[in-house]
Chains A and B, each alone.
Chain A
């Protein structure tokens, strides 16, 4: 899967986990802020997305303050996912 497809899948996960009835994946742009004026999500959504990262990508976000950084935009989440995967791959090699 290329980065574009990965992004689409991430957007679909977000819509599913947060039950965003009124949003299509196309409407979520890659640098749109997830919280407040962007997609309008709140702190409960951020916990939902932390759980989503764990269940869908096997990536843990232990500190809620890191969560705010990671979950800012689709781009920041993709960076986190890719970094997490790279770290896992390195771990497996070692």
Chain B
């Protein structure tokens, strides 16, 4: 069976607007978390956020978006999408071909326009420009129309593992012959809706998040988008190949709507399944880009699951200490970071870690380190018990 490889990447995150900027920021242990500047909410200065400091107007101008009703979630996606297809050099003809798939995962869609949604749903006599943009399909509907993507178009939602599943779906479409290439990724933008939602659960931190630290106090929400171009190795001859997407696992923790089980069943099974798909043994994984949201629940249960799976837990870290939790985009953004790990044979620091969680005794990577890496794993877990793991391998 031929390998599914990554031949194009694009990203925008709180630590950079391109792959190169993100890479430099990670190498320099840069933190992209701050107070909120671009929209009004009671929590703008009370909490920390991974906000991309570019206004919607600037994004529209940079991307040449003149259509009405395009929300920030779509603009961020488009930014990363354009980078990815240009990186791979896909032609208009290739994009329009019936064997080009477009898959993304997101959790907020057009609900980032919280004010307009409130008015449209309750008050307006005439709909706002966003009237048809609120649900999650809106992002790929726009990109499909703009580039006339000819193949399967889909949007995944499995909460915070949405874009990890979008990547797996794209890889499987190619494996099963339903697409020749798949442009896969995820996007989410900061919104009053999610800020208040996560806050109502009491899991947002007022300080910079500290993944895997004994004294962690919750997560920081972030925003961003990333896209990857996937194709078969033999179709990518002469093209730059970043990495192989070698494994994927999708399971359910089946325990609680918003917390992981004590034994980390869902995370354990997702990682195990990804290893089985990749035909790898646990000890072959050199590094884990952990889900590591810095909530009380996640970091402990994810650690428990890693200890169950790995006889010796490999080097691991959470880049959410750099970007915050970008929700539906996290799986795709962190996939790009895994590719950077493999490309440059290095791992990045889990920022602000001080003290090991007593019950697990695990310490993440705390500084930028060069490392020989063959296979890296990326974890993404979400509400509804949705757990996914991906494995990327050096080619």
Contacts and interface: CB of A to CB of B under 8 A. Distances in A.
B313 to A, nearest CB: 28
Interface stretch (A1-9, A24-32, A39-47, A74-82): A39-47
B257 interface: yes
B123 interface: no
Nearest to B258: A44
A44 to B, nearest CB: 7
A64 interface: yes
Contacts of B201: 44, 47
A64 B202 CA distance: 8
Interface in A47-79: 47, 64
B296 to A, nearest CB: 9
Q: Report the interface size class on chain B.
A: under 10
B333 to A, nearest CB: 28
Nearest to A50: B202
A78 B259 CA distance: 29
Interface string B180-223: 00000000000000000000111000000000000000000000
A47 B257 CA distance: 14
Interface string B230-266: 0000000000000000000000000011110000000
A42 B257 CA distance: 10
A42 B259 CA distance: 11
A60 to B, nearest CB: 13
B184 to A, nearest CB: 32
A47 B202 contact: yes
A44 B256 CA distance: 10
Nearest to B256: A42
B256 A43 contact: yes
Nearest to A64: B202
A47 B256 contact: no
A43 B201 CA distance: 9
Interface residues of A, number: 5
Nearest to B257: A44
Nearest to A63: B202
Contacts of B256: 42-43
B199 to A, nearest CB: 11
Contacts of B202: 47, 64
B90 to A, nearest CB: 45
B200 A43 contact: no
Nearest to A51: B200
B200 A47 contact: yes
A64 B259 CA distance: 15
A39 B257 CA distance: 18
A43 B203 CA distance: 13
Contacts of B257: 44
Contacts of A64: 202
A43 B202 CA distance: 11
Q: Which of A43, A47, A64 has the most CB of B within 10 A?
A: A43
A55 to B, nearest CB: 13
B292 to A, nearest CB: 21
Contacts of B258: 43-44
A53 to B, nearest CB: 14
A32 to B, nearest CB: 22
Nearest to A67: B202
A64 B199 CA distance: 13
B34 to A, nearest CB: 26
Contacts of B200: 47
Q: Which of B201, B202, B257, B259 has the most CB of A within 10 A?
A: B202
A85 to B, nearest CB: 25
Interface string B252-282: 0000111100000000000000000000000
A44 B201 CA distance: 8
A42 B200 CA distance: 15
Nearest to B297: A43
Interface of B: 200-202, 256-259
Given A42-B256, A44-B201, A44-B257, 8 more contacts: A43-B256, A43-B258, A43-B259, A44-B258, A47-B200, A47-B201, A47-B202, A64-B202
Interface of A: 42-44, 47, 64
11 contacts: A42-B256, A43-B256, A43-B258, A43-B259, A44-B201, A44-B257, A44-B258, A47-B200, A47-B201, A47-B202, A64-B202
